[in-house]
Amino acid sequence: MTRVAIAMDHPIVRDLVADTVRTLSCPGPVDVDVAESYAELRSLRHTRAGVDLVIVDPDIPGADGVRGIAATVKVFAGIRVFILSGVNDPALARDCIAAGVAGFVTKRVSKVSLRNALQVVIDGEKYVDSIVLPAPEVHSRGS
């Protein structure tokens, strides 16, 4: 079983993310726990053993932006943390990555793109939305 914790303060977003998570290719069924605030997310760490992935909006109540994300990475040590942000801010993305998150996308992505990004992260890789941090330009000789 794969257990995913989703921390989003908007119920419609939380439900859509949960539906997307349930379509991931994982060993066994996917169990989803939800939180509406940072405090509820932290309590999931102590009440629900075996969380494999945390999906969090850095602007949920009580999160305190990047400081809250860094604290989430510490509280859920050894567990992949994935950011789903309503803000298209490259500085926020860089700060979250520096804090140790495994993935970062904005809420501007399609459901298919979100699913693909989550699959990459659940498979153990890192993913950053190219809208937030575009790939560096490649320059060839003579250009």
In the prediction, which pLDDT does 48 show?
A: 59
User: pLDDT band at 28, cuts 50/70/90?
Assistant: confident
pLDDT at 49 over 90: no
User: pLDDT band at 73, cuts 50/70/90?
Assistant: very high
pLDDT cut 70: percent of the chain above it:
90
User: pLDDT band at 26, cuts 50/70/90?
Assistant: confident
Q: What is the mean pLDDT of residues 4-30?
A: 92
Residues 6 or more apart whose Cβ sits within 8 Å of residue 68: 38, 58, 62
Q: Is the separation of the CB atoms in 6 and 21 below 8 Å?
A: yes
- How crowded is the C-beta side of 44, counted as CA atoms within 13 Å? 26
Give phi and psi for 53, each to the nearest 5: -150, 135
In the prediction, which pLDDT does 138 show?
A: 45
User: pLDDT band at 54, cuts 50/70/90?
Assistant: very high
pLDDT at 106 over 80: yes
Q: What CATH number should be reported for the domain whose range is 2-126? A: 3.40.50.2300
pTM of the model: 0.89
Give phi and psi for 95, each to the nearest 5: -65, -40
Of 20-24, 54-58, 130-134, which range is least confident? 130-134
